[in-house]
């Protein structure tokens, strides 16, 4: 079942500016925020048609270019500052059931002094936790605190997944010398793929958060700026950790290639030893087995066993010489 109504509204709240919040519906949304009464948060589902899109285009008062950015199909994290507000696009890792660790879904914000409009494409667990905090009476007092709080929640989800990815890289480094290479190849490739995909969106998010913290607005306090910079610093650390995981995966793959080459060289050396030992014996026994006259010992009843013993002794002697030359004994 969709978690939004037929008009595309996921949730909407009005914050009283003192830590309290109350859920509202379309009637309150269409009336607009009241001056001096806190601010509204309107969270919409991205739809190509319907009342939510009509409200964005015709009733919200948001400029058409900004409204188009809110419902764009695919966008990288970024921030654009305007005279009367700020547009912010962030990405979050979804920790909901049946979601993949490399799935980073976007959430877009248009932030004004008395209203925050957000648009999502897929549900995010961080937004669900934020809404639960509102229901418990732990609401932000300003739009700046709203963005800072939600940004920190998005970053916390990243920390969980990236830490697990780094731990998996640690396990692969321990297993590469002992495990079967065929069992590790797919895991190493998956770790490297996830690290590359996550970094693609995490790195620009640092710049978006830092840029938003520069917004010169009364609703963005110094404490909010510090929290946004802290979130950006954590995102920077995540990007560096992902670079490390990616490089470690490449080193693990190189070690696997070296081990495979060593195994191939060892197999070729064993094959060469076998060939060197048995080629002369094959030649000698082939000559002794020719059906022509004059074969030495053809009339001797013990000739077969004599040749067998001589061939065995010659083979053991050549094998011992080769083993010592190869430093196997």
Q: What is the pLDDT of residues 183-205, one digit of tens each?
A: 677 788 888 888 888 888 888 88
Secondary structure of residue 195 in the 3-state scheme: helix
Domain with CATH 3.30.460.20 in the chain: 9-258
Using CA atoms, how far apart are residues 150 and 152, in angstroms rounded to an integer?
Answer: 5
Residue 85 has pLDDT above 60, yes or no: yes
Residue 100 has pLDDT above 70, yes or no: no
The pLDDT confidence band at residue 1, using thresholds 50, 70 and 90, is very low
Residue 96 has pLDDT above 60, yes or no: no
Encode pLDDT of 51-62 as tens digits. 667 778 777 788
Using CA atoms, how far apart are residues 216 and 126, in angstroms rounded to an integer?
Answer: 27
User: How much is the average pLDDT of 258-275?
Assistant: 77
For 257-323, the three-class secondary structure string (H helix, E strand, C coil) is HHHHHHHHHHHHHHHHHHHHHHHHHHHHHHHHCCCCCCCCCCCCCCHHHHHHHHHHHHHHHHHHHHH
Residue 277 has pLDDT above 80, yes or no: no
The pLDDT confidence band at residue 109, using thresholds 50, 70 and 90, is very high
Average pLDDT in the chain = 79
Using an 8 Å Cβ cutoff, are 189 and 211 in contact? no
Using an 8 Å Cβ cutoff, are 111 and 88 in contact? yes
24: nearest Cα among 8, 7, 43, 6: 43
Encode pLDDT of 37-81 as tens digits. 688 999 988 766 556 677 787 777 888 888 888 888 767 888 888
DSSP string covering 135-190: HTT---SSHHHHHHHHHHHHHHHHHHHHHHHHHHHHHHHHHTTTS-HHHHHHHHHH
The pLDDT > 70 percentage for the chain reads 84
Using an 8 Å Cβ cutoff, are 156 and 146 in contact? no
The CATH number that domain 9-258 falls under is: 3.30.460.20
Residue written as tokens 């939600």? 150
Task: Name the pTM for this structure.
Answer: 0.71
Using an 8 Å Cβ cutoff, are 184 and 257 in contact? no
Cα–Cα distances (Å) from 125 to 88, 107, 132, 165, 172, in that order, read 19, 12, 11, 19, 29
Q: What is the pLDDT, as a whole number, of residue 98?
A: 45
Residue 165 has pLDDT above 60, yes or no: yes
Q: How many CA atoms lie within 13 A of 82 on its CB side?
A: 14
Using CA atoms, how far apart are residues 118 and 42, in angstroms rounded to an integer?
Answer: 6
The residue with greater pLDDT, 178 or 18, is 18
Residue 105 has pLDDT above 60, yes or no: yes
Encode pLDDT of 292-323 as tens digits. 666 676 666 776 777 778 777 877 777 777 66
């Amino acid at each position: 079942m969709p978690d939004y109504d037929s008009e595309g509204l996921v949730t909407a709240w009005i914050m009283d500016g003192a830590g309290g919040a109350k859920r509202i519906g379309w009637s309150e949304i269409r009336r607009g925020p009241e001056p001096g009464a806190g601010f509204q948060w309107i969270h919409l589902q991205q739809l190509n048609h319907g009342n939510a899109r009509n409200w964005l285009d015709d009733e919200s008062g948001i400029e058409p270019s900004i409204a188009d950015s809110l419902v764009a199909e695919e966008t990288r994290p970024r921030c654009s500052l305007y005279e009367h507000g700020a547009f912010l696009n962030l990405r979050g890792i979804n920790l909901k059931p049946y979601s993949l660790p490399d799935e980073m879904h976007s959430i877009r914000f248009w932030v004004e002094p008395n209203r925050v409009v957000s648009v999502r494409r897929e549900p995010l667990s961080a937004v669900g936790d934020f809404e639960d905090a509102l229901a418990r009476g732990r609401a932000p007092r300003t739009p700046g605190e709203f963005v800072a709080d939600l940004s920190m929640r998005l970053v916390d989800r990243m920390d969980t997944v990236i830490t697990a990815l780094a731990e998996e890289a640690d396990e692969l480094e321990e297993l590469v010398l002992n495990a079967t290479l065929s069992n590790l190849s797919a895991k190493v490739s998956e770790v490297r793929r996830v690290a590359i995909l996550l970094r693609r969106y995490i790195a620009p998010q640092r710049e978006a958060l830092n840029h938003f913290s520069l917004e010169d607005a009364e609703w963005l306090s110094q404490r909010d700026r510090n929290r946004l910079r802290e979130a950006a610093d954590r995102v920077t650390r995540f990007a560096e950790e992902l670079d490390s995981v990616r490089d470690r995966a490449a080193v693990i793959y190189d070690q696997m290639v070296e081990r495979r080459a060593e195994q191939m060289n060892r197999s070729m050396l064993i094959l060469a030893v076998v060939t060197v030992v048995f080629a002369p014996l094959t030649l000698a026994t082939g000559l002794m087995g020719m059906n022509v006259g004059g074969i030495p010992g053809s009339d001797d009843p013990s000739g077969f066993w004599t040749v067998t013993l001589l061939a065995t002794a010659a083979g053991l002697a050549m094998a011992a010489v080769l083993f010592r030359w190869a430093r196997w004994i």
